[in-house]
Structure 1
Amino acid sequence: MASNLDTLVTVFGGSGFLGRNVVRALCKRDYRVRVAVRRPELAGHLQPLGRVGQIHAVQTNVRYPASVETAMRDSHVAINLVGILAQGGGQSFDAVQTKGAETIAKAAAASGARMVHVSAIGADENSVSGYYRSKAAGEQAVLAAAPAATIIRPSLMFGPEDQFTNRFAALARLSPALPLVGGGVNKLQPAYVADVARAVADAVDGKTKAGATYELGGPEVLTMREVMEIILKITERDRMLAPLPFGLARLMSVFLQFAPGALKLTPDQVAMLRSDNVVSDAATTAGLTFAGLGIRPDSIEGVAPQYLWRFRATGQFQKKNA
């Protein structure tokens, strides 16, 4: 029986939030991992996730086909995790999430490698969000170049290094109120990043259907208001939840898109909040979900206390009633 050590998996965008979890999951299954990133000198944090020599970072920019083709050399599987939430310079939604995805898929097809492409729930060519439109176009480009590719659409992901729960927990330390864009009635199905990484590794194992699109959401459908209440409960912060109309939020985002850290808000992020981010009935019926892969996802309330404690007033030394 062949060992997974004989299989080389190239992970594009493997040093990011989802990337480090995917690399960890692949290493546990004994795959050799090539991490293709723009700044390999900043990917040293990945090395402890595997054994000596199991992980190798290489310089790659998905906007340059030659670098992608080089990264795919002798690879058996390509995983595309590259994505951006805000545009800047040459890093546009179209260049990275549409054309970049197409470049990777073409390189995978040319080398005879299998393709796993991570998109997002909400991908829609008719969306008001440029992010979601580019994700939908990226899926189409991938399937055109590699029809047997597996598409994975996770909902909003949470975990120790996320820019979601950590962001609002940090904002709660600074502000007496947390904004609820559009009233916070939009629905989410937060997925634990480690569960999504496991699903990606299952796709590498060949457990997914060729050419199928999987939608991955956590065990609960929550409104944004409910998510905020969970974060405040975990961090033991008493903050007002202030509804913010979409029009005012968009106006504020014109300026806040240049703000640092937790204060940053772009017009496109406001547009993204106009739609729900949940698993579709069609995906559930077809078994193209966590359940279809035999994965029982963790909830945000079950995982987030393990890393959000640092945002409490006294950290891990919170008071407990006798």
Structure 2
Amino acid sequence: MKKILMLGGTGFVGRHLCEKLTQLQWRMTVPTRQEASARDVQMLPALDVVETDVHDEAALTRLVTGHDAVVNLVAILHGTQQAFDRVHVQLPQKLARACAAGGVQRVIHISALGADARNPDGAPSMYLRSKGHGEVALQQAGLALTLLRPSVMFGDGDKFLNTFAKLQKIFPLIPLASSHALFQPVWVQDVASAIVHCLQDEHTHASVGQTYEACGPDVFTLRQLVELAGRFSGVNQGRGRVVLPLPAALGRLQARLMGLVPGEPLMSLDNLDSMTQPNIASGNLPGLDALGITPTALEAIAPTYLGPDGGGWGLRSNLTVKRKNAGRF
């Protein structure tokens, strides 16, 4: 039985990945600052929740020791330069040192589409620059490393399509900045399957040292995705709300004002900077197909969790929904 340390295991991707590894009967360790944050996974068999701070390097080293591999899913979408550096750069640096001290070589690191380890400072946003520098930190450590760069992820519990659907249930009109930004959304279950494939790659080691672009089969504008979220959630009798594209200057003003609201913003200036770069596969790196995964279309999955009968696709999901949609695949 393999033993996997999963940093960020209580988050969106982590919850889906924990379920897949449970099915393989692997043992998992999921650290969290507060045990209550792990309520969605702590009842899974062969999973140990450890209350600790992974940014504490001594604690991280103790965690790493004794595991066969580490999966790093820790990331933030909003924050200051200092916050991005702490999470996306310093933590990978600490992880590299912890792996060296704990004798662990195998690391799967989830980066982001648009990050570039060859020229991290050339990226348009703090988020993407920090992601690139995090890749560099791990690549320079001599680890048996695999990098996955997903596009925006959708699926049961996402904060992407679900957010746009909820907004359309409240407001009659959706003003939208960067409406023409391009995305190639990928199903979270496909990303989790890619991680599992890499963890199972112990004979050929084909994925070691490789970077994969994890993208879905279709490209959408942000406006199209917002419209689909409204349709799939049944807003306005399935027509969704009118989406009003904003000029660049007005869009930046909107993002700046959102950043002043307490809590996590819906949109930040740094998000807009990220969207100036198309969030689609470059074609220069292997994709999910290289891992034996056929990317799943957004239209096949989104209605199952955005609609009134949505129940998701995890172990806790509604089996009726699974059966109803089984013929789509």
C-alpha contact 1:152 1:215 (8 A) present in aligned 2:
yes
Q: Aligned match of 2:63 in 71, 74, 80?
A: 71
Q: Where in structure 2 are there 5+ consecutive unaligned residues?
A: 311-329
- Residue 40 of structure 2 aligns to a residue whose secondary structure is helix
Change in Cα spacing, 1:303 to 1:208, as seen in structure 2 (3 Å) is farther
Distance across 1 between alignment mates of 2:308 and 2:260: 27
Decide which of 7, 15, 20 is 1:20's aligned counterpart: 15
Aligned to 2:317: none
Q: 1:275 aligns with which of 274, 277, 292?
A: 277
Deviations along 1:46-81, whole A, 9 cap, x unmatched?
Answer: 034x32xx0001133332211211211211101100
The answer to which of 72-81 and 100-109 deviates more is 100-109
Distance in structure 2 (CA, Å) of the matches to 1:208 and 1:193: 23
Correspondence 1:171-190 to 2 at 5 A? 171-182=167-178, 184-190=179-185
For residue 248 of structure 1, give the secondary structure of its aligned residue in structure 2. Answer: helix
Name 1:225's counterpart in structure 2: 223
Alpha-carbon offset, residue 91 of structure 1: 7.1
Q: Which residue of 2 aligns with 1:165?
A: 161
Indicate the larger mover: 149-158 or 200-209.
200-209
Equivalent pair of 1:77/1:108 in contact (CA under 8 Å) = no
Q: TM-score, normalised by structure 1?
A: 0.87
The letter for the 1-side match of 2:166 is A
Equivalent position of 1:102 in the other structure: 93
* 1:24 shift after superposition: 1.1
Which residue is 1:135 aligned to? 131
Count of residue pairs brought into register by the alignment = 298
Q: What residue in structure 2 maps to residue 154 of structure 1?
A: 150
Q: Which amino acid aligns with 2:230?
A: L
TM-score, length basis structure 2: 0.85
Identify which range, 209-218 or 121-130, moves more after superposition.
121-130
The CA distance in 2 between the partners of 1:308 and 1:116, in whole Å, is 30
Kept after mapping to 2: 8 A contact 1:256/1:264: yes
Structure 2 partner of 1:254: 256
- 1:180-207: CA deviations, max 9, x gaps? 323x222111000011001011111116
Does the CA contact (< 8 Å) of 2:255 and 2:267 recur in 1? yes
1:115 matched to which residue of 2?
Answer: 107
Deviation at 1:169, TM superposition (A): 0.2
8 Å CA contact 2:107–2:143 kept in 1: the answer is no
CA offset digits 1:88-117 (Å, max 9, x no partner): 7x9700001111112112212332321111
Separation of aligned partners in 2, 1:295 and 1:213: 15
Work out the CA distance in 1 between the residues paired with 2:206 and 2:156: 27
Q: Match for 1:179: what amino acid?
A: P
Read off the aligned partner of 1:217 and give its amino acid letter.
C
CA contact (8 A) 2:65 2:99 kept: no
Asked if the contact 2:146–2:211 (Cα under 8 Å) also holds between the matched residues in 1, the reply is: yes
What letter corresponds to residue 268 of structure 2 in structure 1?
A: T
Q: 1:194 aligns with which of 189, 205, 213?
A: 189
Query: Which residue does the alignment assign to 2:140?
Result: 144
Are 1:116 and 1:149, in contact at CA under 8 Å, matched by a contact in 2?
Answer: yes
* Equivalent runs, 1:297-316 vs 2, <5 Å: 297-310=295-308
CA drift of 1:261 comes to 7.6
